[in-house]
Homo-oligomer: A and B are copies of this chain.
Amino acid sequence: MKKNVIVGQSGGPTAVINASLYGVVYEALNREDVFGTVYGMVNGIEGFLNGKVMDMEPLEQSGELELIRTTPGSYLGSCRYKLPEDLNDEVYPKLFEKFAEYGIGYFFYIGGNDSMDTVSKLSRYAEKVASDIRFMGIPKTIDNDLVMTDHTPGYGSAAKYVASTVREISLDASVYDNKKSVTIVEIMGRNAGWLTAAGALARKYEGDNPVLIYLPETAFDPERFIEDAAKAMEKVSNIVVCVSEGIHDGKGTFICELASDVGVDTFGHKMLTGSGKYLENLVKEKLGVKVRSIELNVSQRCSSSMLSGTDLKEAVASGAYGVKCAAEGATGKMIAFKRLPGEDYRIDYVAEDVNLICNQEKTVPLEWITEDGSDIGKEFIDYAFPLIQGEVSVPTKDGLPLFAYRK
């Protein structure tokens, strides 16, 4: 008898995590020779434990699956549930009983570091109990911080969103070019600066905004920043600065913590503000020029307006490739991208050992960051440029993007 398939999504959403879901489901539904029913787990492994499961086939028949491909967010819902380290914990047999109940032979989990941890644990438990269920990880994260892969699905679209938005903010900031000003753009990325670095792609010509870019890979010195900003305004009246939310002083303190130490609201709560807000006040105090800070916020991971064609294609393909590998017997692997040498951008899809990937973090190489820590070099541009290429036309209805959602 053919074994069934189950697929889930976990962690924060991206613009293309549903494209990978599409890839898994489409491929699995079209391999009727290998797979039985294709299930989706609602709200990840946590929802699955509570019996929240749906049949995915009707979505293909209704045309909804095609719409899922370009819908941001997690169609199946997500969770942040960490499986216990101890493989003797009672949750494991409970999960595997549920797998048996649904006749599951293939398990696909689309997510980042933590989700790969789930794949790792389940595949190790399967080995322990001699289960033949195959566990595969499909990568996704706007943070681009997974190791053993050239990049991750989700990053290209987020980078394209950041680059185009910073380009637009730079136009907006420059309209009063007879007066000096500082615009600080705070970009997601606690420990890895990949997304903040994408601000560099916004430049239309050499010397264009953003003139300063600070990543969390190096220590951030507020005084040095004020000097950098003052110097930059000698050349460009209205400067735009990209900072990662995770910039820190190199001694264990995030810059955003400097602000939240002091502000207390009506309820006595710390006023949690970001690094951008702190720097806004710093510029006001030290330079006395017009200043504004902008937090790009969740649109970085959920905007469908700047989908990268390359990213979308790779997200679908990594889901489909995961299914192929599982059909051929792979388990305990994550689909990864290997960039091929040569002028033109090409990648190979490979399956890497998920145990070597989970709970690790890939940061921007220090040698790609300029020596003074205030910009990113050509190596990054060469790396990121192909990932934001290609436009995607999202279906629209009544003037707005049309999205799939669970009814």
Chain A positions near chain B (C-beta within 8 angstroms): 9, 12-13, 43, 46-47, 71-74, 77-80, 160, 163-165, 167-169, 171-172, 174-178, 201-202, 204, 258-259, 261-267, 269, 271, 273, 277-278, 281-282, 284-285, 292, 294-295, 297-299, 301-306, 308, 385, 388-391, 396, 398-401, 403, 405
Q: Chain B: which residue is nearest A306 at the CB level?
A: B305
Q: Chain B: which residue is nearest A160 at the CB level?
A: B399
Contacts of A201 in B (CB 8 A): 400
Contacts of A267 in B (CB 8 A): 281-282, 284-285
Shortest Cβ distance from A383 into chain B, in angstroms?
A: 14
Tell me if B262 and A43 are in contact (CB < 8 A).
Answer: no
Contacts of A405 in B (CB 8 A): 171, 204
Tell me if A167 and B294 are in contact (CB < 8 A).
Answer: no
Copies in the complex: 2
State the CA gap A204–B405 with chains docked (Å).
Answer: 9
Contacts of A176 in B (CB 8 A): 43, 77-80
Q: Chain B: which residue is nearest A9 at the CB level?
A: B175
Contact (A71, B399) CB under 8 Å given A46-B178, A258-B266, A264-B262 = no
Contact (A73, B174) CB under 8 Å given A168-B303, A168-B304, A390-B399 = yes
Q: Chain B: which residue is nearest A183 at the CB level?
A: B298
Question: Which 3 interchain pairs have the tightest Cβ spacing?
Answer: A263-B263, A73-B171, A305-B305
Tell me if B299 and A165 are in contact (CB < 8 A).
Answer: yes
Shortest Cβ distance from A286 into chain B, in angstroms?
A: 9
State the CA gap A265–B277 with chains docked (Å).
Answer: 10
State the CA gap A301–B163 with chains docked (Å).
Answer: 17
Q: Chain B: which residue is nearest A18 at the CB level?
A: B171
Tell me if A266 and B259 are in contact (CB < 8 A).
Answer: yes
Contacts of A264 in B (CB 8 A): 262-263
Shortest Cβ distance from A237 into chain B, in angstroms?
A: 10
Shortest Cβ distance from A51 into chain B, in angstroms?
A: 13
Contacts of A168 in B (CB 8 A): 72-73, 299, 302-304, 401, 403
**Can you list 13 A-B contacts with CB-CB less than 8 angstroms, sorted by A residue number?**
A13-B171, A46-B178, A164-B401, A165-B299, A167-B400, A168-B304, A172-B301, A172-B302, A262-B266, A263-B264, A295-B295, A305-B305, A391-B396
State the CA gap A43–B238 with chains docked (Å).
Answer: 14
Q: A43-B176, A299-B299 known; 12 other A-B pairs, CB under 8 Å?
A: A77-B176, A165-B303, A167-B400, A168-B303, A169-B299, A259-B265, A262-B265, A262-B271, A273-B277, A294-B295, A385-B399, A388-B400
State the CA gap A101–B179 with chains docked (Å).
Answer: 27
Tell me if B400 and A385 are in contact (CB < 8 A).
Answer: no
Tell me if B204 and A164 are in contact (CB < 8 A).
Answer: no
Contacts of A165 in B (CB 8 A): 299, 303
Tell me if B295 and A171 are in contact (CB < 8 A).
Answer: no
Contact (A269, B284) CB under 8 Å given A178-B46, A305-B164 = yes
Q: Chain B: which residue is nearest A294 at the CB level?
A: B297
Contact (A167, B303) CB under 8 Å given A72-B172, A267-B285 = no
Contacts of A47 in B (CB 8 A): 178
Tell me if B172 and A298 are in contact (CB < 8 A).
Answer: yes
State the CA gap A258–B265 with chains docked (Å).
Answer: 9
Contact (A175, B263) CB under 8 Å given A306-B305, A398-B385 = no
Contact (A271, B259) CB under 8 Å given A172-B73, A299-B169 = yes
Shortest Cβ distance from A202 into chain B, in angstroms?
A: 7
Tell me if B169 and A302 are in contact (CB < 8 A).
Answer: yes
Shortest Cβ distance from A385 into chain B, in angstroms?
A: 7
Q: Chain B: which residue is nearest A284 at the CB level?
A: B269
Tell me if A175 and B262 are in contact (CB < 8 A).
Answer: no
**A271 touches which of B163, B178, B273, B304 (Cβ 8 Å):** B273
Tell me if B400 and A202 are in contact (CB < 8 A).
Answer: yes
Contacts of A308 in B (CB 8 A): 399
